Structure 1
Amino acid sequence: MTRLLHPDVPARPGGVPVTTPVYQTSTYELPRTAEAAQIAEAVAPVGYYTRYGSPNAAEAEAILADLDGAERALLVGSGMAAVSAALLSNVRAGTRVVAQTDHYTAALTLLRDVLPSFGVEVTLVAQESLQDAVDDTTDLVYAETPSNPAMVLTDLAAVRAAAPRALFVVDNTFASPYNTRPLDLGVDLVVQSATKYLNGHSDVTAGVLTGRAELIDRAWDTARVLGPTCHPFEAWLLARGLRTFPLRMARHNANGQAVAEALAAHPAVTAVHYPGLPGHPQHELARRQMAGFGGMLSFTVASAEAATAVLRGTRLARNAVSLGGTETLITHPVSLLFTHGDTATGIDPALLRLSVGLEEPEDIIADLVAALSAAASPGRRGPASPDGR
Structure 2
Amino acid sequence: MTSKQEIFTYVFVRNKSDREFLGSIITMYDKNSRWSNVLMRALVLVGGLFLRPRKNTVKCFFWGDKYHEVILGMDKSEICVVGGPKQLRFCVLNGIKFVPCMSYWAKLKKGMLGELNQSDFEDDGKELCDVLGGLAVDGAALVVDNDSLPMQRLLIHSARMAGIKSYCIQHGLFQKSSPHYLLDGAYSDGVFVYDDIQRAVFLEAGIQFSKLHVSGFYKRAYTPSRSLTLGFQGRKICFLGQPWYKYGGEVSAKYLELVSRLIAGLEKLGVVCVYKPHPWEIGAPYLKDINHLFFNGMEAAIEEFDVFFSMTSTALIECGRSGRVSIQVYDDCFKCDNFSELGYCYTLRSDNLLKVEVLEKILTSEPVAVAMGGGGDFLENFRAVIYGVK
Taking structure 2 as the reference length, the TM-score comes to 0.31
Larger radius of gyration: 1
Structure that is richer in helix per residue:
2
